Amino acid sequence: MRTRTFTNPVLGGFHPDPSVCRVGADYFLACSSFEYFPGVPIFHSRDLVHWRQLGNVLDRPEQLRIPPDTPASRGVYAPTLRHHDGRFHLITTNVSDRGHLIVTADRAEGPWSDPVWIDLPGVDPDLAWDDDGSCWCAFSGTRVARIDPVAGKVLEGPYPAWTGNGLRQPEAPHLYHIGDWWYLLIAEGGTERGHCVSVARARSPRGPYEPGPANPILSHRGTDRPIQSTGHADLVQAADGTWWMVLLATRPRGHTPAFHVIGRETFLTPVRWVDGWPVAGPVLDSHPAPAAWHPFPALPPRDDFDAAALAPYWISPRGRPDGSWSLATRPGWLTLNATGPTLDRPGHTFVGRRQQHLDCRVSARLDPGTARSGLSVRVDEAHHYDLEVTGGEARVVARIGPLSQCVARHPVPPGPVTLGIDIRTTGVLPPSVTAATGDPLGVAATGPDTIAFSASGVLLAELDGRYLSTEVATGFTGRVIGMYVTAGTACFDWFDYEATG
């Protein structure tokens, strides 16, 4: 009998800082969302491999306040999701508001409560309960405090716990009470290529903590593995008794230093226990799968905007005011109303979804009317490529840092127009091959991918994708592809996202 395998990542695209818990035969996972609204996407699985988004934990303005001037890569950091005493608990940090917050729900799909705020420093908070019901919160630093999660009070501490093995930025602590030990799992080495996972243990959450003898227990630093930046991990025991780790990692591509373009993604790797210590990795493209195997039906690639509400994968920078969008104004269409004059500053109307595959194709049917609107591939306000329709023409505009330039124009007839974006990975080709094949970039294809733009089937431009990468833009997020309007009102009949390659 063939061994069933799964392919990493299990959640592609901008889904960093995963936290997982099991309830019976079901698994639930939450990720960071940073400046995007709604915040903290939450997923369900029956096998740790196939995940279906249930919704977003912070989906109301009273739960999630992100001021309009919030810089990119701020907002909501690093949730921890746990199930205790019959109820889901999620703790996270809104670095653009009051800090740590706790929300709870009877069901993972919500509704989730209004926040309870905890007055503790740092980021990356965690929750763990002792046998006597005491609740402990670990946070970056790495420190531990006993708290009342209902009242939002610090009852004891914080105590210094364990700051790792001397590498920079010890963070992402998770506490586990397993047998007679309290295990403290942390990330260290920075969230770039030096990222790694280490562990310590103690008899009490107060410490003292004893470092693991084989730290770091997971790291790809200094290797040529295609998966890099492995860290920020969370442990879970499967129903069959096996142990697994979810973690973030990246897939950099192109010539040195290589570029990761779709953000930090969620990966899965098995864990074994050696002499009372967890050991993981390396994280492979393909692993033997967990015993359970429960694929969900695939999402349809096209959203025809026929539902009463937007699907949970649609996100917007910093907020989505009620007056900026509607599914009712023109039934079967998504109507967008301009709230800002440019994508180069916060405050614009944008509804997008994460790019989840290295190779993909996006298309949409737009009725622009007299608006200025289109599709955008964005990392932040200073790094985005736009396919815009206005004044009877389609044009491609590239914003790279302080520079903004229209790189192509083409007339379009009045009425609806189909816009297309095709993203394909590119190999590292020598100049002689590039010249022979007529590479549209005019230079050797050393970037991670090429982004092509078309209107009504006419190719307008092909741009180097490296300028929409984290290595260029900096920050913690990945690409988001979506619909926008910066003047007037525009309507979108459908939006199609398809993995290719």
Quick: pLDDT tens for 14-39: 999 999 999 999 999 999 999 999 99
pLDDT, tens digit, for every residue of 137-194?
999 989 999 999 999 999 999 999 999 999 999 999 999 999 999 999 999 999 999 9
Q: Do both 121 and 153 map to the same domain?
A: yes
Among all chains, which residue has been given the structure tokens 């693991």? Answer: 212
Residue 56 lies in a domain: yes
| Of 265, 288, 311, the domain-final residue | 288
Integer Cα distance of 83 and 30 in angstroms: 12
Tell me which residue has tokens 């269409």: 333
Query: Do residues 200 and 217 lie in contact, with contact meaning Cβ atoms separated by under 8 Å?
Result: no
| Beta-strand pair 143-148/135-139 | antiparallel
The pLDDT assigned to 280 comes to 95
Report yes or no: 177 and 128 within 8 Å, Cβ to Cβ. yes
Calculate mean pLDDT across residues 56-65. Answer: 97
**CA-based R_g, the chain, Å:** 23
Euclidean distance between CA atoms 248 and 20, whole angstroms: 12
pLDDT for res 489: 98
Q: Is 230 inside a domain boundary?
A: yes
Q: What is the number of other CB atoms lying within 10 angstroms of the CB of residue 222?
A: 8
Q: How many distinct structural domains can be found in the chain?
A: 2
> Which token pair is 123?
């980021």
CATH code at position 198: 2.115.10.20
CA angle 330–57–227, rounded 5-degree value: 100
- Domain of residue 458, CATH code: 2.60.120.200
Query: What pLDDT digit, counting tens, does each position of 372-406 carry?
Result: 999 999 999 999 999 999 999 999 999 999 999 99
pLDDT over threshold 80, residue 2 = no
Indicate if 308 and 284 belong to the same structural domain. no
User: Can you tell me the mean pLDDT for 408-416?
Assistant: 95
pLDDT of residue 299: 87
Residue 435 exposure: Cα atoms within 13 Å on the Cβ side:
3
What percent of the chain is helix, strand and coil (3-state, nearest 5)? 5, 50, 45
CA–CA dist 2, 5 (Å, integer): 9
Fill in the DSSP letter of residue 448: S
Quickly list DSSP for 231-263. Answer: EEEEEEE-TTS-EEEEEEEE--BSSTT-B--S-
Q: Are 268 and 382 found together in one domain? A: no
pLDDT for residue 437: 46
State the catalytic residues: 17, 171
Claim to verify: residue 323 and residue 268 sit in the same structural domain: no
In this prediction, what percent of the chain has a pLDDT beyond 90? 94
Decide if 154 contacts 147 (C-beta within 8 A).
Answer: yes
Model confidence over 427-454: pLDDT tens digits? 544 444 444 445 555 556 688 999 999 9
pLDDT at residue number 444: 61
Query: Which three-class secondary structure state does DSSP give residue 438?
Result: coil
Position 498 pLDDT exceeds 50 = yes
Same domain, 332 and 280: no
Instruction: Clarify whether residues 238 and 334 are in a common domain.
Output: no
pLDDT of residue 428: 46
Tokens describing residue 277: 């210590």
Model pLDDT, residue 446: 80
The whole-number pLDDT of residue 429 equals 44
Q: How confident is the model at residue 281 (pLDDT cuts 50, 70, 90)?
A: confident
pLDDT of 314-366, one tens digit each?
999 999 999 999 999 999 999 999 999 999 999 999 999 999 999 999 999 99
Residue 187 within a domain: yes
The sheet carrying 383-390 orders its strands as: 349-354, 480-487, 372-380, 383-390, 393-400, 403-411
Domain membership of residue 86 (yes or no) is: yes
DSSP state of 468: G
**Within-domain flag for 322:** yes
Query: Domain of 161?
Result: 5-288
Q: Are residues 346 and 412 in the same domain?
A: yes
